[in-house]
């Protein structure tokens, strides 16, 4: 019986090890992909409202100081962070860690907003519909709809033409002026 067990072990050892290695490698790759397309949150998850059509990839949402709302068709690049929390710089040690507002620092991200990779948003702030925030930007103030902002802190660099805005002919523009 020992001889037969040894023979079976030698016959199966290579193929079985290769199969196990292949399956482990596939699972590791799947986990890497999952990490790129799974958001994380800190605080009460019920304070996070993401429209089902939004794509947030691997964003981090901190809802400790307010709610976060992500509108219809909004989409994020990778490593975006939306933070409602802050701490009291006048406190020290453990007291500083625990002294933070529990509400009032809401973040609203409107319909069709694009937050490019590595954007940091600090609430309270509203990013208006169809606005674009350039990669690596820091948003500390409200962003008007149909604008492009960039920088640290983010500043308006362009206004986007609204799709429903009709082009006025030169005659119409002249008739409207006083």
Q: Where are the beta strands (DSSP E) in 43-146?
A: 48-50, 60-62, 68-70, 75-76, 81-83, 107-109, 114-115, 120-122, 125-127, 132-133, 138-139
The CA distance from 94 to 83, in Å, is 20
42 is catalytic: no
- Calculate the alpha carbon distances from 167 to 147, 173, 176 in Å: 18, 10, 13
149, 134 Cβ separation under 8 angstroms: yes
The CA distance from 125 to 118, in Å, is 17
Q: Where are the beta strands (DSSP E) in 106-168?
A: 107-109, 114-115, 120-122, 125-127, 132-133, 138-139, 147-150, 155-159
Given 42, 78, 87, 118, the catalytic residue: 87
Active site residues: 87
């Amino acid at each position: 019986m020992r001889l037969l067990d040894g023979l079976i072990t030698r016959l199966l050892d290579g193929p079985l090890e290769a199969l196990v290695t292949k399956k482990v490698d596939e699972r590791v790759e799947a986990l890497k992909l999952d990490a790129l397309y799974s958001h994380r949150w800190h605080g009460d998850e019920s304070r996070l409202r993401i429209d089902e059509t939004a794509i947030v990839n691997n964003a981090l949402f901190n809802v400790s100081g307010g709610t976060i709302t992500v509108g219809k068709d909004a989409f994020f690049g990778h490593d975006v962070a939306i933070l409602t929390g802050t701490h009291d710089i006048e406190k020290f040690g453990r007291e500083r860690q625990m002294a933070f507002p529990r509400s009032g620092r809401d973040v609203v991200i409107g319909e069709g907003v694009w937050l490019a990779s590595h954007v940091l948003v600090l609430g309270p702030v509203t990013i208006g519909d169809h606005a674009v925030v350039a990669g690596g930007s820091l948003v500390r103030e409200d962003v008007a709809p149909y604008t492009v902002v960039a920088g640290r802190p983010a500043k308006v660099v362009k206004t986007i033409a609204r799709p429903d805005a009709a082009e006025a002919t030169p005659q119409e523009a002249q008739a409207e002026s006083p």
